[in-house]
Structure 1
Amino acid sequence: MYLSKLEIFGFKSFAQKTVINFNEGITSIVGPNGCGKTNVVDAIRWCLGEQRSGVLRSDKMENVIFNGTANRKPMGMAEVSLTIQNTKGILPTEYTDVTITRRIFRSGESEYLLNKNLCRLKDITNLFMDTGIGANAYSVIELKMVETILSSKAEERRILFEEAAGVNKYKLRRRLALRKLDEVKADLTRVNDIVSEVEKKVASLERQAKKADRHNALSTQLRELELDLAEREFALFHIKIDELKNSREENFKRKIQIESDIARLEDEIKDARDKLLIIEQELAEKRNLITEQTDKIYQVQKSLSVKTERKNALERNRTKYSEELIELEQELRSSEELITNGTNNLITFDEVLKQKEYQQQEIEKKLEDLNSLLEQKRSELKNHSDILLEKVREISNKENEVKNIEKSLTDFYNRIEKLNERIQNISNTIAKTVGFVEELGNERDETKRKIEEAEQLFVQKQNEKLKLESELNHLKEKEVEQKSLIKSIKEKAEFIQNLIENLEGVSKGAKALLENKSWLRGETTILAHIGNTDEKYRFAVEASLRNNLNNLLVESLDDLLKGIEYLRNKKIGKASFFFPPNGNENKQSFFDKIQNFILKNKAKKLSQESGFIGWTFDFIQTDKKWKNFFDKILQRTCVVDNLDSALALYKKYPQFNFATLNGDLISIDGIIEAGSEPKLDDSLFGRKQLLENLKNELPTHERKLIELQKEILWKEEQLNEIDLTVLSERGRMLVNDLANVEKQIAQFEYEIKKSNDESDKTQKEIQEFAALANELDNQKIKVSEELSVLKLKQEQLNSEQTTLEEEFRLVRTKHDETLNLLNNLKIEIERTIGEIKNTNNAIARAEESISSIKSNIERRKNDIASAEEEIQTIQTELESENQSLQSLEAEKNELNKLLEEVESRYKESREEVNKKESELKKLRNEREQLSNLIHKSEIDLKELEMKKESLIEHIKESYSLNLEKKVFEDLDTFNFSERHSQVQEIKDKIKNLGPINLLAYSEYEEEKQRLEFLYKQRDDLIESEKDVIKTIEEINQTAQAQFKETFDKIRENFIKIFRTLFDPGDEADLRLEENEDPLEAKIEIVAKPKGKRPQSIDLLSGGEKTLTAIALLFAIYLVKPSPFCILDEIDAPLDDANIDRFTRILHEFKKDTQFIVVTHNKRTMEAAETMYGVTMQEEGVSKLVAVRFNEDFDFVDK
Structure 2
Amino acid sequence: MFLKRIELQGFKSFADRTVLQFDQGVTGIVGPNGCGKSNINDAIRWVLGEQSTKSLRSGTAMSDIIFSGSEVRKPVNLASVSLVFDNTQRIFATDFDEVEITRVIRRNRDAQYLINRTPCRLKDVTDLVMDTGLGRDSLSIITQGNISSFADAKPEDRRSLFEEAAGVAKYKKRKKTSLAKLEATQANLERLQDILDELERQLGPLEKQAEKARRYISLRDELSSIEITVLADEIGSLKEQVSQLEQDIDHSRIQEGRMSEDIQRKEASVADLRRETTELDSRILELQKQYAANLQERVSLEKRKTQLDEQRRRLLESGSDEDRRSQLQALASEARLEYEDRLDRLNSLEQTRQETEKNLADLRQKQEVLQKERSTASNRLQDLQRRQDTVTAMLRQPYTHQQGVNAVMKARQSLQGIEGTAAALLQPKEGMGSAVNAALGGAVFNIITTDEQCARGAIRFLKRNRSGRATFLPMSVCRPRFPKKDQETIAQAAPGAVGWAADLVDCKDRYRNVRDRLLGNIFVCDTLEHANETARRLKYGIKIVTLDGDIVHTGGSMTGGSQKQGSSLLTLQDEQRQLEKRAADAQTAVQELSRSLAPLESQVQQVQEEP
Normalising to structure 2: TM-score of the pair?
Answer: 0.40
Q: Which has the higher contact order (CA 8 A, sep 6+)?
A: 1
Normalising to structure 1: TM-score of the pair?
Answer: 0.21
Give the number of the structure whose residues are more often helix, by fraction: 1
Q: Rg larger in 1 or in 2?
A: 1
